[in-house]
A and B are shown apart, each in its own frame.
Chain A
Amino acid sequence: MTYNPFTDLSCTVRKHAVKGIITSTGAGKTRSVRSILKDIAKRGGNGTIVMFIADLKLAKEQQAELRAALPHLNIELYLGISQPDPTSPNHKMCRRHRADDLVSRGIPIKSLCGSKQSGYCQHHANASAATPCAYSQQTLKTPDIWICTHVMLFNKSPEFFGPTTLKVIDESFFRSAYSSHLSIEVDEIENKTRYRKGSHLLNLAYHVCNHIRNMPDGHLDVSALSAYADNRLISALDTVAKVSVNLQPSSTNQEIDIAIDQYKGSQSYALAMFWSSLALLARMHIGHTPFLVKKTDSGKTIIELPHFSHPHKSWESPTVLLDSTMPVEVNKKFFKNLEVDRIDTQTSHTRYIQITDSLLSKTQFTRTPSTYHRVLEIVSVVARQIPDAHPTKILLACSKTVEAKLQQIGLPAKCETIHYGAVTGSNKYSDVPCILVVGRIEIPIIQAELQAALLDERPLDVPAKNYYPQRQVIVKDQTLPAYYHPDPLTEEIRRHWNEGQILQAIGRGRAIRRTVQKPLDVILLTNVPLPIEEQYLTLTKWKDIQQTMLEVLLAKHDIVPLGSGELMRTFPNLFDTKDKARTAIKAVTDRYPELGQIIKVGGISSINIINRQYPTYFHKTTALIKYTPDKKGAKPGYALIRKRQGHSLQQILNELTPTKPTKTRKRSANNTNVPPTHYDIQGFIAKELPPLPDPLRKKQYYDEQQRKWVTRRNKDTTDVCGNDNGRVYYVTKRSCLR
């Protein structure tokens, strides 16, 4: 049996309950937590409720929402000393020289603030200064609820917070716990000034460092080092010398500089972390340790110490975790007694369309730069569907690189962007009519495996794999290829970055809160399988979702002729030959075969063409018209035309060419004021609807809720259809042309 020194040290402790809830984004988990906060705040007591939010921007947003929802409670946002003072933007929260440098090196700043006995800093609220610093003013606050960022969870709770009654952690926090920057030089491990007198660690340091120097670069081999990880090492962990910094409230800037320089070389935290990481090897006997990575840089041997911090014990209190994409097994590494409830909610008024044949990964954008333009065409066409006067915008979610490139090329004004890694929490986009998700991000397998090994304190597989394996996932009777990792913990980390970020991006639209009047369209330009309700999901191909040239032109100009000659005349730069024009027309008629049929047969008064495959409330309706240019011998032609706000169809048509009435109309003596019609509407290019009932005997209404035609009107019906001499037609009530 293998000897494990940790067995002797294991013990049972009593911890407060930890509860987690996974619900669809927008189901009201934050709102429900408000009611918990309200109830707990009502109970009183001397503790504080602390809410941890992913970042400061979201924390401010949350503070505003909580203040509005709970006006009788005092809710404050905790700002660290290096943050700008909200009341005086030219100053930081702490006004002392290099205060943020002190904090970033872990030097306690309390001594600089001072106390009643030692006297206060000149900027302290208790000193007689005219303008006390914002940080010391903050220490005097006693709110019912403190709001902090996730990072604070891993630091000691500020003393002025007092005991914590409840902590609520919103969204996934484990990213804030991961650190890969800590490192220590091997020579520093042997430096005897870094240890207390007679430390066992110093005796070990010589042998350990010799071993390390002889090892190859990379994650260190456990078998060579685990012998040192014994009981004596574990009990000697606190013999690393603490470096004290002698700072007073009266310290000068020069004294602070000296203190920082002195502390910089101490590396006491890294040294303690090195020995703690070495102690963990007692649990491993073969393989490579994830905790210790050797690197040789300019002749120096450095040990990097990647690690996860754990919530600081000063926050010990009942805990609530809220996350729509919670990595449960990962969270259990931080909160062993975590209990999770899950509920998924219907999104009846959201329609999803997803491509099945392309990831639109970073590589695709690099290999085929024209993909940026194809994406931009889709974005432009969708954005142009929104009438100019309408205040709403569409939301584009993609990776930071793609976002930057698309912005550089030029995104339409009606489009806002967010990038993966910063998509959680915000309610800012809860009214957007459409969300476009472009591509995905993937954490490299080597990183995912390292993080899983660190969390699970297990050896790392070396050499690491280069790629994730793929499997087929069934989505709506089709199979989509999907990357995965066979290890459940690694898979959770991978999924957090990949599917998790996409779901969070979609969640910004608050899909479950949508109504008939305010539906949401989600266009997924990536084939990552997602837990979407299949009944609202349409699968398509990348080629099919791309816009044809004429669709792009229609979105831009609101009119495009469907004759090759007219097309060449209107857009001479794009169509310099008849072949190019014909190809463009063929592309659009191939996509919408009904269009070609109508042109061929002529004058059918109904069309059910899927212009956009997803219905929204704001769509401009497109019509196919027949018109005759006002030229001698001109033949009638066809054009696609869209209603522009404040313009009649005739005005838009006139932008294309002067027209004359398509046929001579007799005008009655009583009706001389009726202007001559210069075009005939052949039909409307409308949104996707199920086939019309046949035969159609009376007026019917389209019920969006049931997604079928009904004979009686109700609050959910939106369209009316009827028949005209056997030819079926329907118009969209909200966005009809007239």
Chain B
Amino acid sequence: MTSSKGTFPTVTFTELTDKNTVLTKQYGIFMGCFKKKHPGIMSDGFAKQVTMQLDQVIPYFASLSEHQAICHGLTENPLAMITVKSRETKDRIARTKDNFIFRSGEPSLVLLDVDADDSYGSTKINSPTDLVDIVETILPSISNAAYMAMASASSGIMSTDTDELLTSNCGFHIYFVAQDSSDIPRFIETLFKKLVLEGFGHIKVSRSGSQLLRTVIDGAIKSPERLDYVAPAVISDGLSRQTIDPTLRPGGMLDTVVLKNLTPEEERSYADLVKQLKSDTKEKAATFRNQYVEIKSIELGISKKRLMQVLESADRSVLEYDFVLTLNDNSTVIVDEVWSNPRNWDGVSLRDPLDPDDGSSKAMIIVGDDHNIRINSFAHGGYLYKLTGKPVELYSSIQHTRLDDAEKFLEDFNKKIICDLDRMDEVDIL
């Protein structure tokens, strides 16, 4: 561990424990193949607020068990019982934005998550210092802020037999202490856009040919209720972990408010730049999409043309009725099933619709007050997808007759009226 003498700010966050669920990543060798398992969903446990100095965080994280994780937001009470939303009671709360909040004016951990990305145009970040140097060009005051950096739980997994690196060792987390936690979501969003504007943005083309905007940090790590899997990964025999040493830099808190929002001109430039980046990777995306459609159309029994349409809609954040959603346990469900019974699906967490390989619990189904159903994906900057039900044929059965027939019909109608002039019907009234 690289340590530095000096002052470190104090921070409070929430420790979560669920004895029945493994809340960290798991790696193992199964039938000679390297396998990874994403952390489970916390459904029954407790939350405890923890306060410490930033330099004490490293040994604290190392001491956490596989059934523990943290949240950067805080609950109303220092101790709380946690359950799922559908079973929420007065004494047992769910891990939602309503119950876990960033308190205004109070400090909180802010995480800059660097994921290894070898996509074309991505910026290679070798060390936490590299990232801090980049951010400093946008936010000079970050140079006075204390931080703690450590490898992410999934990085640097190696085979002990072959010494082969099975997961990239370039991913790491840098924790700062934000002065006003309520500004964190805005700060991360603005920083993401400014990094893109500074030329650190690139497009990652997913397996399904979707063009996903990325930069040197993950723009999705900004929710107070989000689980941060900080406990050491569980690795089986035959594997070892070789990661960078945790780093500490003394200093003060990070004043996120100093980072101003984008001006309208900057917003326009940002939009143009994103357009340009997408245009540059258009061909690659088309190739990937064709390959994906080729394979998936057989697998799902959907015509290639239709699958292509569905994916194009998904790119516009619309998931059509026959889009296949992947649940956390890798089982699948089509959008129409969710649409036909929305109440059963409200609040269910699942994998990212466009990038299911990214891990479980990356997205959540939300049924709105307006009856509309959406999926909020927290992966890679966050996306909101709108789900659409099976289209209805409202008017196709209407037969349009010739005008002559209509006139004849009206004549008959007239005759009926004349006949019925004296007819009386029995009507029930109150």
Contact = CB atoms under 8 A, between A and B. Distances in A.
* A and B interact physically: yes
Interface stretch (A27-35, A399-407, A584-592): A27-35
Nearest to A530: B395
A664 interface: no
B91 interface: no
Interface in A308-339: 318, 320, 336-337
Nearest to B411: A32
Interface string A465-480: 1111111111100010
Contacts of B120: none
Given A344-B399, A472-B392, A474-B391, A15 B369 contact: no
A361 to B, nearest CB: 15
A479 B400 contact: no
A583 interface: no
Interface string A340-359: 01011111000000000000
A32 B425 contact: no
A45 to B, nearest CB: 10
A11 B429 contact: yes
Nearest to A457: B430
A18 B416 CA distance: 11
A200 interface: no
Given A341-B413, A529-B394, A531-B398, A10 B430 contact: yes
B35 to A, nearest CB: 40
A15 B424 contact: yes
A28 B395 contact: no
Interface string B384-420: 0000111111111011111101110111011011101
B394 A473 contact: yes
Nearest to B389: A471
A345 B401 contact: yes
B427 interface: yes
A29 B371 CA distance: 39
B372 to A, nearest CB: 6
Given A12-B429, A16-B424, A318-B421, A474 B413 contact: no
A36 interface: yes
Contact of B391 (A13, A16, A343, A472): A472
Given A12-B428, A13-B429, A472-B389, A346 B403 contact: yes
Contact of A479 (B391, B396, B421, B430): B391
B370 interface: yes
A560 B393 CA distance: 45
A211 to B, nearest CB: 25
B369 A14 contact: no
Contact of B426 (A14, A320, A468, A471): A14
Interface in A472-493: 472-475, 479, 481-482, 486
A234 B1 CA distance: 85
A652 to B, nearest CB: 41
Contacts of A11: 428-430
A165 B422 CA distance: 10
Contacts of A534: 396
B5 interface: no
Given A10-B429, A17-B425, A28-B406, A344 B414 contact: no
Interface string B205-222: 000000000000000000
Contact of A474 (B370, B396, B426): B396
A337 B427 contact: yes
A159 interface: no
A23 interface: yes
A379 interface: no
Given A6-B430, A336-B429, A472-B389, 6 more contacts: A11-B429, A318-B423, A341-B409, A341-B413, A471-B389, A531-B398
Interface pairs A-B: 3 shortest CB-CB: A469-B371, A467-B370, A472-B391
11 contacts: A14-B427, A17-B424, A18-B425, A19-B420, A27-B406, A36-B418, A343-B401, A467-B372, A469-B371, A473-B394, A531-B395
Interface of A: 6, 9-19, 21, 23-24, 27-29, 32-33, 35-36, 39-40, 165-166, 318, 320, 336-337, 341, 343-347, 465-475, 479, 481-482, 486, 512-513, 529-534
